[in-house]
Amino acid sequence: MLSVPRPSKRFWMTAIVYTEVTIVIKYFFQFGFFPFNQNIELDKSKPFHPPNIIGVEKREGYVHYDLVQLLALFFHRSILKCHGLWDEDNPRGGGKETPKQHHHEREKRTSSRPVEKQAAEGSSSLLESVRNRIPRHFHSMSTSTPLRRKSSSSASHLSQRTVRSAHSKGDSVSSRPGLRRGHSLRRGDSLRRGDSVLSVQHRSKKEMILEKLREQLIKAKSFTVKKTLEIYIPIRQFFYNLIHPEYSAVTDVYVLMFLADTVDFIIIVFGFWAFGKHSAAADITSSLSEDQVPEAFLVMVLIQFGTMIIDRALYLRKTVMGKVIFQVILVFGIHFWMFFILPGVTERRFSQNTVAQLWYFVKCIYFGLSAYQIRCGYPTRVLGNFLTKSYNYLNLFLFQGFRLVPFLTELRAVMDWVWTDTTLSLSNWICVEDIYAHIFVLKCWRMSEKRYPQPRGQKKKKVVKYGMGGLIVMLLICIVWFPLLFMSLVKSVAGVVNKPLDVSVTITLGGFQPIFTMSAQQNQLKDISKADFADFMNSYNYIPSAMQFLEAYTSADVAVAELEGSSNSLWTISPPSRKNLMDVLSKEEYFPVTMSWTIQRNLSLGAKAEVATDKHITYLDMTTRQELIDLLNGTRNQAVVIEQVFPCFLRAPSDSNAKPIEQLYKDNSYKNILLALERTHNSSGEIQEWWIVDQPSAGQIQMRGAAVGKKREAGLQLYVFSDKVSPPSLGFLAGYGIMGLYASVVLVIGKFVREFFSGISHSIMFEELPVVDRILKLCTDIFLVRETGELELEEDLYAKLIFLYRSPETMIKWTRDQKTK
């Protein structure tokens, strides 16, 4: 994708052959006699199974994608053949010689031919004359030994030097002094070579081996350098052609790359669990609500955001070299992470990770767009926001939404100032950006007024008034009454019944050890039918306050906790404490009996607190205290009646307070209970004691499902009315309550709405501009001269823009409609 101007035929042929060979190899390894194909299910969970890494694992549909790829390659090959590009020798236009270069080279070769011919003729005549004038014994000496054959090369070099000297001086090379000098040189060279022959004979065998070894090392070094250059030079030429193209069709796909990165960012936020080992069931909203930031989520978000920042910096600096380096690092890093690091972290294969596959697919689209941007080059001018290219409602609303994203506008403005050459300060830069954004919005409104003109003297249509005005009225009314409507509907319509999971009751005499402890769970927590609840409501027809309370509940909201009468723990009080308790009962004027209860709910359904508790204290009269003393002494066997101590109707709201329901107690009195102390002896003869609690009469709600005539066992019946809780999806709003919603939602929204209805008179001068084309052109001129490097002109145009906003008279002249003059 980075080939300039297009991939070569060799590339497409390599891709086609590679795909065909891959299909054949995969087909060959589908047979079951291979050892790694015999335990497929066992090796399926191994992310680094070698056949899976190589791609020869036996599986269904192993060749589908390869066939699609091969079909696409052949289809592309047919397209290239149709356009005559398949048999092209060199697809790069810069590799062929242009006609002008070819003509220049031909003229150069033609002009150099006479000189070369003259030099060759001169050198041949020189050699002939020198050969004729050399004495005979020199010729015989040159052919007597094999070593003398090498002197011809020295003679040829001498002749070439003589030819060059003859051409430089312009004289004839056949003069006597020159011949004597040449003859003396040849004689000296022959004598030196004779001495070298004698020295060779005296050399040892070791020195000759070292000499040959040195020659072989030199040859190996030259061969290595040659092969290295053969590999390095094409790669270097490829990147040079990519960074310095001869012809480039400049394009701008940064917006598409930014959208691809944004999609990847969203995939990471909502699917981060796919990039961790033990986070498969994690939820980012619940993790953030608990003030816990998963490490995998944090690392991936920061890396993704950092790559977006780097990409923006490269785009503003227009550095293709930096983009190429960044692209190479990303390609190798992401592929190594996706196919090697991620499977090791998550312990599952890449083919089994759907979220990672989706993220990788979008990233491949980004790689394709980046390669296209590198091949075509960055645009020479980056002018304004991409949403400000057209003036319509779509661009207007998208641009306004872009500006509403927190810190996005500010971050973009600061990054543009950092990585753009300019003379403006940061405050001046932000001022120009704000003016340009404001003028763009005005331009969109003026264009809409031109498309949909309003005739003079004509009243507004009812469709506009009731459409837009009615919608605003309904919206304001909903905002005002939103908390009340929301809290009423969220529990009555979308509310979830949060029934109790455990109901516990404890009775304490004074400040001593509890005498009775019992809890009801699972089968002891029973529901009531609609008919039983209707009969219960009919018994309160004459009490309006009770009916008002009961109408807010249904039979599904009521649970009956049947507590057993015998305490679930022995009363292990020491003899001194027993004596102290009897003394307090006989002497104290006010002796309290405390009944406390605890109701446990499911917190995940939306309750504010998991446990709701409360208690009721009753003071005993003298008669009851004396009966308790007799019961402790063992002189009384009958149960003692404790009056108005047991609140059998409890309300369990979503908070931690479970209060008695005062409207349901007739005569404003609680129920009585019976206390009895049971004694027995164990196998060792020790006395064991426990308390038994019972209610004198049956419960208020008669259970029709109970067996007729069955004797009722001792115990207590506690009726729990559970308030409905908001669903977890709306819990973040319902948790504020009515007053909290009014303070945090209604008043804040009202403050923003008030800004649209007040302070308009102060902005008329800059809002009601009939024609903004000249101001818009001035802003684009500032962008243009900045991109072309005319920084002094940028200062002048900025000063002109500031003067325009400081001078109302000049502003009126610039924005006046030409037709109204």
Minimum mean pLDDT range among 157-161, 234-238, 324-328, 666-670: 157-161
Q: Is the peptide bond before 544 cis (omega within 30 degrees of 0)?
A: no
Predicted pLDDT of residue 176: 43
Q: What percentage of the chain has pLDDT greater than the value 70?
A: 78
Answer yes or no: are the C-beta atoms of 503 and 563 closer than 8 Å.
Answer: yes
Partner residues linked to 516 by β-bridges = 507
pLDDT tier, 237 (very low <50, low <70, confident <90, very high otherwise): confident
Q: Any idea what the Cα angle at residue 812 is, between residues 810 and 817, rounded to 5°? A: 130
User: Dihedral sign, CA of 48, 53, 58, 59?
Assistant: positive
| Virtual torsion, Cα 289, 292, 296, 302, nearest 10 deg | 80
CA-to-CA distance for 288 and 293, rounded, in angstroms? 6
Residue bearing the bigger pLDDT, 387 or 59: 387
CA-to-CA distance for 238 and 221, rounded, in angstroms? 26
Using alpha carbons, select from 465, 448, 473 the residue that is nearest to residue 397.
448
Q: What is the β-pairing status of strands 715-722 and 649-652? A: parallel
Mean pLDDT across 130-151 = 39
Predicted pLDDT of residue 110: 46
Residue bearing the bigger pLDDT, 735 or 209: 209
Predicted pLDDT of residue 62: 76
Helix, strand or coil for residue 591?
strand
371: its two tokens: 């390669």
CA-to-CA distance for 45 and 401, rounded, in angstroms? 46
Name the average pLDDT for the chain: 80
Judged against a pLDDT cut of 60, whether residue 202 lies above it is answered with no
Predicted pLDDT of residue 160: 43
Mean pLDDT across 708-732 = 74
CA-to-CA distance for 45 and 218, rounded, in angstroms? 55
Q: What is the pLDDT of residues 256-315, one digit of tens each?
A: 999 999 999 999 888 877 877 655 445 666 666 666 666 767 888 899 999 999 999 999
Predicted pLDDT of residue 701: 65
pLDDT tier, 633 (very low <50, low <70, confident <90, very high otherwise): confident
Mean pLDDT across 213-237 = 91
User: Other C-beta atoms within 10 Å of 250: how many?
Assistant: 12
The DSSP annotation for 47-97 comes to TT-HHHHHT----TTTTHHHHHHHHHHHHHHHHHHHTT-TT-S---GGGSP
The DSSP annotation for 166-202 comes to HHHHTS-TT-HHHHHHHHHHHHHHHHHHHHHHHHHHT
Q: What is the pLDDT of residues 566-624, one digit of tens each?
A: 888 888 888 888 889 888 888 877 889 999 999 998 887 777 788 999 999 999 888 99
Predicted pLDDT of residue 109: 45
Residue linked to tokens 């940028």: 794
Helices vs. strands in the chain: H and E counts, helices first: 32, 12
HSE-CB of 117 using CA atoms within 13 angstroms: 6
User: Quick one: which H or E segment has residue 562?
Assistant: strand 558-564
Mean pLDDT across 470-493 = 83
Judged against a pLDDT cut of 80, whether residue 15 lies above it is answered with yes
CA-to-CA distance for 363 and 304, rounded, in angstroms? 11
Using alpha carbons, select from 774, 777, 770 the residue that is nearest to residue 820.
770
pTM listed for this prediction: 0.62
Residue bearing the bigger pLDDT, 631 or 100: 631
Mean pLDDT across 343-352 = 80
Mean pLDDT across 660-668 = 83
Predicted pLDDT of residue 444: 95
Enter the DSSP assignment of 789: T
Predicted pLDDT of residue 29: 80
Predicted pLDDT of residue 653: 86
Mean pLDDT across 377-399 = 88
Predicted pLDDT of residue 148: 35
pLDDT tier, 43 (very low <50, low <70, confident <90, very high otherwise): low
Q: Any idea what the Cα angle at residue 229 is, between residues 224 and 232, rounded to 5°? A: 125
Enter the DSSP assignment of 718: E
User: Other C-beta atoms within 10 Å of 620: how many?
Assistant: 22
Residue bearing the bigger pLDDT, 437 or 186: 437
User: Quick one: which H or E segment has residue 432?
Assistant: helix 426-451
pLDDT tier, 185 (very low <50, low <70, confident <90, very high otherwise): very low
Rg (CA), the chain: 49
127: its two tokens: 């050699």
Predicted pLDDT of residue 273: 79
Strand intervals (E) in 305-437: none
* Chain CA centroid to CA 71, Å: 34
Q: What is the pLDDT of residues 64-89, one digit of tens each?
A: 888 999 999 999 999 989 988 888 65
Predicted pLDDT of residue 246: 78
pLDDT tier, 699 (very low <50, low <70, confident <90, very high otherwise): low
pLDDT tier, 714 (very low <50, low <70, confident <90, very high otherwise): confident
Minimum mean pLDDT range among 7-11, 217-221, 313-317: 7-11
Using alpha carbons, select from 700, 702, 693, 697 the residue that is nearest to residue 663.
700
Answer yes or no: are the C-beta atoms of 376 and 245 closer than 8 Å.
Answer: no
Q: For the chain, which residues make up each domain, given as ranges?
A: 9-95, 254-376, 386-453+759-820, 496-703+711-725
Mean pLDDT across 696-722 = 67
158: its two tokens: 């001498």
CA-to-CA distance for 776 and 767, rounded, in angstroms? 14
- As to burial, measured by CB atoms within 10 angstroms (0-12 exposed, 13-18 middle, 19+ buried), residue 181 is exposed
Predicted pLDDT of residue 115: 41
Residue bearing the bigger pLDDT, 399 or 668: 399
Judged against a pLDDT cut of 60, whether residue 652 lies above it is answered with yes
Predicted pLDDT of residue 286: 64
Judged against a pLDDT cut of 90, whether residue 59 lies above it is answered with no
Enter the DSSP assignment of 657: B
